[in-house]
Amino acid sequence: MKLRTLSLALCFVAVAPFAAAQTAGTKAIAIKSEAANFQVKTVAQGLENAWGMAFLPDGSMLVTERPGRMRIVTADGKLGAPLSGLPKVVAQGQGGLLDVVLAPDFATSKKIYFSYSEPGEGSLNSTAVSFATLNGNKLENVTRVFSQKPKVNSTNHFGSRLVWAPDGTLFVTLGDRYSEKDKAQTLDNHQGKVVRINADGSAPKDNPFVKTPGALPEIWSFGHRNMQGAAINPVTKELWTGEHGPQGGDELNIDRAAKNYGWPVITYGENYGGGKIGEGTQKAGMEQPNYKWVPSIATAGFIFYTGDKFPQWKNNILLTSLREKTLVRLVVDGEKVTKEERMLAKELDQRLRHVVQGPDGLVYLLTDEVKSNIYQLSPQ
């Protein structure tokens, strides 16, 4: 039987029953899940194709909108005016303003880092990362620290999640740009790669390909398609990434230095409309996914939950899905995913773009719709 069309990934798992199905709004929705009963309430409305979110020390949220806006949303849900000072952004197709994270020393530096699709000559573009100083409603001293090479004429597969490693380096996930998928297998470009950079944009001296002739020194791993999720495992301190497959074959990977994750030589997906891609599902020297979804669910942002408000979810992965509109909970035992639970597809019926753990230990969801919302999950 043909895999279902549209991209992204596996496992048929029953959605957990719910106690009270209501239209999403200010009134909380009660949910019964397998491990913890909780309620969902709307925190903010009126965003447009929201993509990234980071909590500020005062409990407000810094939120990006793909059309090219960044706003501060107060803890009680009030949307601030768009911040001034952003660089030019190509807001076309899957491109636009993407992820945002605070610098590790934000308390003193007021620096934020953000990713976006950067224009080049004519119709060329690529994923870029800049930092800036947040001063009220302004971004000042904007400095680009990374730009994907080469720029290409495409509006697809930009990546890109930003994740700070425990050593203070920054991981950036990068898509293959769709039309350039074969470049994911070569090291003279940034297509289909995870890169690791220092805070100033330089390549760490211990990156795996620094001394490899012809390789770009920022590269950490390769053979990826389009990674829109990434997080550090709190137990092992390793990077995990979530990757969109083609028609089928979404992946969750433990992302290690110098490893080749196979795209487009091996995949559990197929071409849109059917047809084999590459050489099959396995090949010597190429990594197998740690977990996969066939058919695709369209994996997006995810976290490892480390708070105390949901002790039953401790160190579980909470992963958002665009296509299936579900929050996925994955139980992890060491390096192995032992259980999957899907939640909220019926209750919210919205594309879920990202999930963030708040400083209060609660869980916050960001939806990717023309009218995007922020939801809060709290224990019942």
What are the chain's domains?
A: 47-311 (2.120.10.30)
Categorize the per-residue pLDDT at 274 as very low, low, confident or very high, splitting at 50, 70 and 90.
Answer: confident
pLDDT at position 9, please? 35
The answer, yes or no, to whether residue 27 has pLDDT greater than 90, is no
Per-residue pLDDT tens over the stretch 152-203? 999 999 999 999 999 999 999 999 999 999 999 999 999 999 999 999 999 9
Q: What is the pTM of this model?
A: 0.92
Per-residue pLDDT tens over the stretch 292-340? 999 999 999 999 999 999 999 999 999 999 999 999 999 999 999 999 9
3-state secondary structure the chain: CCCCCCCCCCCCCCECCECCCCCCCCCCEEECCCCCCEEEEEEEEEECCEEEEEECCCCCEEEEECCCEEEEECCCCCECCCCECCCCCCCCCCCCEEEEEECCCHHHHCEEEEEEEEECCCCCEEEEEEEEEEECCEEEEEEEEEECCCCECCCCCCCCCEEECCCCCEEEECCCCCCCHHHHHCCCCCCCEEEEECCCCCCCCCCCCCCCCCCCCCEEEECCCCEEEEEECCCCCCEEEEECCCECCEEEEECCCCCECCCCCECCCECCCCCCCCCECCCCCCCCCCEEECCCCCEEEEEECCCCCCHHHCCCEEEEECCCCCEEEEEEECCEEEEEEEECHHHHCCCEEEEEECCCCCEEEEECCCCEEEEEEEEC
Which of 272 and 300 is assigned the larger pLDDT?
300
Which residues are known to be catalytic? 157
